[in-house]
Amino acid sequence: MGTLLLLITLICEIAFAIYCVITKQNHKKMKSWMRIVVFIAFVILTLSSVIVWDFRWLMLTIVLFILAVKGTISLIRNKTNNQKYKTSSIMWKTMITILALVFAFTPAIVFPQHQSPKVTGQYQVATATYTYIDKNRIEQFTDKGDNRFVNVEFWYPKNADGTYPLLVFSHGATGIKASNTSTYTELASHGYVVASIDHPYHSLYTVSNDGTKALINTDYKSEISNSNKEGIYTKEEVYGLIQKWMKLRTDDINFVIDTILTKAKSDNNPIYQHIDTEKIGVFGHSMGGAASVWVGKERDDVDAVVNIDAPFFSELVYNSEIDDFVARDEDFTIPLLNIYSDDVWQQLESNSTYVANKLNNEHFKDAYTTHLKGAKHLSLTDLPLFSPILANILQGGRADIDQYYCIEKTNELILEFFDNKLKDKGHFTPKETY
C-alpha cells in the first residue's frame, strides 16, 4: 500500500511540474486545490479502513496536513498568480516536495500494511503484559545493583471456561517477545495460554510496566556477531559464550515458569486461573529454541518442546583434543519437534555447532524433524510480514518460500504437535519436507 501510494504521488508531482514547465505558468491555484484534495482523499481512505491507521502513517499525515494548510491559506489570500514564473523555482520546489514525501512514506514502505496470518481456533484471543522481578538475581548488565526483571506477554482464550496448557516462548538472539505473534494467537485460539518472554539486554528492546526501558547490550550484540565470523573467537571461547548466554536464558525461562505456577495457586487473576499446571510446553526461535531444548531437558514438569531453527546447545561438549564440538552422550526423552529453514537444514552435516542436531543422532531418535524448503532463518517468525526489507537485510536475502504459507505451516505444525502431546489429540506425523 505504501509503495503504491508513493508511486502515484510521485507521478502526480512530476506530471504537474512538467505541465507547469510546458505552459510556463506556476498554476498555484491548481496546486493548492491538489494539496487539499490529496489530504481529503487520504482521510477518506483512512476512515474507510483502506488505510489502517497506525504509526506507519503518522509522518505522511503531518506532511499532507501541512501542504493542505498551505494550500488553503494560499486560496484564502487569493495570491495565486502573483509570482513570476521561473523554471528553476518549479524544479526546486518539486524536488523538495518529493524528498519530503519519500521521507514521510518511509515507515509505510519499511513496515508495510499487511494481512495477519489466519487464525483458525474457536476462541477469541486476549492479551496482557506483566513485569516479573526476580529477587534472587542481580542484573548483570548494569551496575545499579537492581534485581533482574523479565517482561512477559500473555495470549490466552478470552471469556473462556476451564483450564488450558501453558506454553512459554523464548525469542531469538536479538529478537523481541512479539516476534511470533501469529503463532501465539493461533495457539491461544485453540485453547492454550501462551507466555512470551522478553529477555532484557538480549532482546532488541523491552519496556516494563513502570516504563523502564532496556535496549540490547552492545557487548552481547558484538559477541553474537563475532561468534559467527572466522578468526575472532576460538572454539573454546565460543563454547564459553554459549554457556553464558544459555545460563541467562534458561534462568529467565525457569523463573517465569516458576512464577506463573506460583501465581496459578494463589493469584485470582483469570489468566493464571485458566492455566493447567500439569501441562507445560516450551518453545522458541533460534537462541530461544536452543534455550527451550535446554529447559526441557532440565525440568521434570515440561511435557513437550518445539525447537525452531536452533542448535542443541545443551547437547554440545567442547573436546580440546580435536578443538571442536561433539554431541553429548545422553538421551533426550521429552517429546521434541524441530522445524528447520534452509539456513539450518544445510548446516546439519557441515557445521559442528549442529553436531547434536544431526538426523542420525540416536539420542534424539524419537524427535520429529521437518524442513520448510525455501525458507530462511527469519521466515519462521513474523518479521518478513511486518518488515520484508529488514528481514531481507538481516537474513542476507529474500526467501524463496511464500511467507504466508511458511508461517501458517509453522503455526499449524506447532499446534498439531502440542495438541498431540499436551491434549492427546490426533496423530502427529509431519512430512520431512514441506
Per-residue pLDDT tens over the stretch 18-39: 888 888 888 888 888 888 988 8
- What one-character DSSP code corresponds to residue 217? P
For 125-423, the fitting CATH number among 3.40.50.800, 3.10.180.10, 3.40.50.1820, 3.40.50.20 is: 3.40.50.1820
Cα separation, 376 vs 371, whole angstroms: 11
What pLDDT is recorded for position 25? 83
Q: Closest Cα to residue 287, out of 242, 327, 235?
A: 242
* pLDDT score recorded for residue 87: 85
Contact (CB, 8 A) for 52 and 101:
no
Kind of pairing, strands 275-285 and 164-170?
parallel
Calculate the dihedral angle through the C-alpha atoms of 373, 376, 381, 383, rounding to the nearest 10 degrees. -130
DSSP labels for 103-126?
HHHHHHHHS---PPPP--SSS-EE
Residue 7 pLDDT? 87
* Residue 379: per-residue pLDDT: 97
Model-level pTM?
A: 0.89
Residue listed under C-alpha cell 496470518? 117
What is the chain's alpha carbon radius of gyration, rounded to the nearest angstrom? 27
Listing DSSP states for 125-145 in one string gives: EEEEEEEEEEEEEE-TT-SS-
* Residue for grid cell 522478553: 198
Q: What is the pLDDT of residue 50?
A: 84
Q: How far apart are CA 372 and CA 384, in angstroms?
A: 15
Provide the pLDDT for residue 79. Answer: 57
Q: What is residue 81's predicted lDDT score, i.e. its pLDDT? A: 52
Q: Where in the chain is the domain with CATH 3.40.50.1820?
A: 125-423
What are the percentages of helix, strand and coil residues in the chain, rounded to 5?
A: 50, 20, 35
**Residues lower than pLDDT 50 in the chain:** 80
pLDDT at 431: 95
